C-alpha cells in the first residue's frame, strides 16, 4: 500500500466538482484540476463491496496532483463502510463521503443511496463507524427528500440525526429523489429544484457547512446564492463546459484564468505518461476534454476530431495537433 500525506486542511468549501459515475474518473479529475487548482474533486461513487473485494489500484488509484480529493462511498453496512473508509484514507483521500442521494434501482436494491434518507438512525451508525475508522472528514451528500416526504422537516430531521455524530458537512442536491418511476437521469431533471429548502437548513444550522448542488450552471447565479451557502458543488456543467470551472476558480479564489493551449500541453504529457505506465488508451482521457472550447468558434471541430480520431491517433500530441489545426482552419474560413 502506498503512503500518502492527507491534505484535508487544504479543502475549501467554496467549490467542488460532483461525483459522477462514468465521468469523474481519475483522468477527468486530472483534467479538471488544470482548470481549477482549488476545487475539491470527488470520485465516482464506489461501493463498499467493490473496495473490499476489488482491484484497489484500479478503483482508488489517483495522481498526486488531484488533491484535494474526496472518495464517495456507496453502502449501508457500518462495518463495511468503516473498512472502506479506512482503505480510502490509507490511499490518501482527503475526505470520505457517503452517498445518500442516488436513486437508481440497482442502488435501491442494495439498500443504499437515496433510500438511506428514510433511515437516519442507520446513516448515523454508518457515519459514526466511518469516523471511528478515519482521521479525515466524513461527509454526506443527500437530496432534500424522497418521494412524498414533507418538504423541510424531513430534511432537517435527517440532518440533525447525523449532525449529532459530529459530521458537519452536508452536500445538498436541492431536489427530491422520486424512487419509483423515474430513471436516474430524469431524477436529475424532473423533481423541481428547491434552493429555499437547502437555504433554510443553513439558516437554522449556521454551524454546519452546507454545500448547494443541483443546477448551478452560470456565473451569474453565484452572487445570489453565496450568502445562503458555504459553497457550491457543480456537476454536469463542469463536465460539459469545463471552462466554467476555470471561471468559478477565478471568481472564488482570484486565480488567473488558465491558457487552454497550456492545458492541452499538460494533458498531452499526462496521457503519454499514463500510456507508458498503464497502457491507457488516449481516448480514456480525451473523452473528458470534448467541451474545452465550448462557446468558442471551432468548438465543434475540436469535439469531432477528438471524438472521432482518438482511437486511431499515434499519440495524444498528434491528436491534439490535428484537432487544433481543424480549429484554425475553421476560424480562417
Ligand X SMILES: Cc1cc2nc3c(=O)[nH]c(=O)nc-3n(C[C@H](O)[C@H](O)[C@H](O)COP(=O)(O)O)c2cc1C
All three cell numbers of 47, joined, read 461501493
Residues 89-108, mask of contacts with ligand X (x by CB under 6 A): ----------x-xx------
Taking the C-alpha atoms of residue 201 and residue 196, their distance in angstroms, rounded to an integer, is 9
Indicate whether 23 belongs to the interface with ligand X (CB under 6 A).
yes
**Which residue's Cβ has the minimum distance to ligand X?**
235
Q: Is 51 helix (H, G, I), strand (E, B) or coil?
A: helix
From the list 17-25, 57-65, 285-293, 299-307, the region that binds ligand X by CB under 6 A is 17-25
Which of 106/297 has CB closer to ligand X? 106
Which of 236/317 has CB closer to ligand X? 236
Contact 178, 191 (CB under 8 A): yes
Site for ligand X in 183-222 (CB under 6 A): 188, 213-216
Which of 140/323 has CB closer to ligand X? 140
Indicate whether 44 belongs to the interface with ligand X (CB under 6 A).
yes
- Minimum gap (Å) between residue 19 Cβ and ligand X: 4
Look up 100 and say whether it is catalytic. Answer: no
User: What element of type H or E holds 17?
Assistant: strand 15-17
Contact 127, 160 (CB under 8 A): no
Indicate whether 80 belongs to the interface with ligand X (CB under 6 A).
no
All three cell numbers of 4, joined, read 500518502
**Alpha-carbon torsion angle 13, 19, 23, 27, nearest 10:** 50
- Minimum gap (Å) between residue 236 Cβ and ligand X: 4
Site for ligand X in 271-330 (CB under 6 A): none
User: What element of type H or E holds 42?
Assistant: strand 40-47
Dihedral sign computed on CA atoms, order 126, 24, 237, 273: positive
User: What element of type H or E holds 143?
Assistant: strand 138-143
- Among candidate residues 102, 115, 142, 167, the one labeled active-site is 102
Which of 221/299 has CB closer to ligand X? 221
Helices (H), 138-194: 152-163
Indicate whether 16 belongs to the interface with ligand X (CB under 6 A).
no
Taking the C-alpha atoms of residue 169 and residue 82, their distance in angstroms, rounded to an integer, is 18
- Among 141, 169, 176, 194, the residue binding ligand X under the rule CB under 6 A is 141
From the list 48-56, 132-140, 230-238, 252-260, the region that binds ligand X by CB under 6 A is 230-238
Indicate whether 72 belongs to the interface with ligand X (CB under 6 A).
yes
- Among 92, 110, 145, 235, the residue binding ligand X under the rule CB under 6 A is 235
Long-range CB pairs of 311-318 (<8 Å, 24+ gap) are 311/281, 311/282, 311/283, 313/282, 315/272, 315/282, 316/267, 316/268, 316/271, 316/272, 316/275, 316/282, 316/285, 316/286, 317/268, 317/272
**HSE of 238 in the Cβ direction (CA atoms, 13 Å)?**
31
Taking the C-alpha atoms of residue 43 and residue 96, their distance in angstroms, rounded to an integer, is 10
- Minimum gap (Å) between residue 332 Cβ and ligand X: 36
- Minimum gap (Å) between residue 44 Cβ and ligand X: 5
Which of 78/235 has CB closer to ligand X? 235
Which of 99/326 has CB closer to ligand X? 99
Taking the C-alpha atoms of residue 236 and residue 14, their distance in angstroms, rounded to an integer, is 17
- Minimum gap (Å) between residue 71 Cβ and ligand X: 11
How many residues of this chain interact with ligand X, rule: CB under 6 A? 23
Site for ligand X in 236-275 (CB under 6 A): 236-237
Residues near ligand X (CB under 6 A) are 18-23, 44-45, 72, 99, 101-102, 141, 173, 188, 213-216, 234-237
Known catalytic residues are 102
Amino acid at each position: 500500500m502506498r503512503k500518502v500525506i492527507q491534505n484535508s486542511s487544504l479543502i475549501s468549501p467554496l467549490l467542488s466538482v460532483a461525483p459522477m459515475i462514468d465521468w469523474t474518473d481519475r483522468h477527468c479529475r486530472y483534467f479538471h484540476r488544470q482548470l481549477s487548482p482549488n476545487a475539491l474533486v470527488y470520485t465516482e461513487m464506489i461501493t463498499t463491496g467493490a473496495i473490499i473485494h476489488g482491484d484497489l489500484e484500479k478503483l482508488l488509484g489517483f495522481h498526486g496532483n488531484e488533491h484535494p480529493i474526496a472518495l464517495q462511498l456507496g453502502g449501508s453496512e457500518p462495518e463495511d463502510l468503516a473498512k472502506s473508509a479506512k482503505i480510502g484514507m490509507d490511499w490518501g483521500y482527503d475526505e470520505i463521503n457517503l452517498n445518500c442521494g442516488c436513486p437508481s434501482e440497482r442502488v435501491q436494491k442494495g439498500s443504499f443511496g437515496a433510500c438511506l434518507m428514510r433511515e437516519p438512525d442507520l446513516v448515523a451508525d454508518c457515519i459514526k463507524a466511518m469516523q471511528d475508522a478515519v482521521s479525515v472528514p466524513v461527509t454526506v451528500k443527500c437530496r432534500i427528500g424522497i418521494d412524498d416526504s414533507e418538504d423541510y422537516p424531513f430534511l432537517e430531521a435527517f440532518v440533525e440525526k447525523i449532525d449529532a455524530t459530529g459530521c458537519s458537512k452536508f452536500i445538498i442536491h436541492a431536489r427530491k429523489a422520486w424512487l419509483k418511476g423515474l430513471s436516474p437521469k430524469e431524477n436529475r431533471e424532473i423533481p423541481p429544484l428547491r434552493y429555499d429548502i437547502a437555504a433554510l437548513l443553513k439558516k437554522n444550522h449556521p454551524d454546519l457547512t452546507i454545500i448547494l448542488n443541483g443546477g448551478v450552471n452560470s456565473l451569474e447565479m453565484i452572487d445570489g446564492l453565496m450568502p445562503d451557502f458555504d459553497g457550491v458543488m457543480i456537476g454536469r456543467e463542469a463536465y460539459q463546459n469545463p471552462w466554467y470551472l476555470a471561471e468559478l476558480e477565478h471568481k472564488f479564489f482570484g486565480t488567473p484564468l488558465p491558457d487552454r493551449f497550456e492545458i492541452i500541453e499538460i494533458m498531452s504529457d499526462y496521457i503519454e505518461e499514463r500510456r507508458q505506465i498503464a497502457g491507457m488508451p488516449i481516448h480514456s482521457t480525451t473523452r473528458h476534454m470534448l467541451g474545452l472550447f465550448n462557446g468558442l468558434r471551432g468548438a465543434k471541430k475540436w469535439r469531432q476530431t477528438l471524438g472521432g480520431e482518438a482511437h486511431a491517433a499515434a499519440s495524444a500530441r498528434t491528436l491534439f495537433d490535428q484537432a487544433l489545426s481543424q480549429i484554425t482552419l475553421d476560424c480562417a474560413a
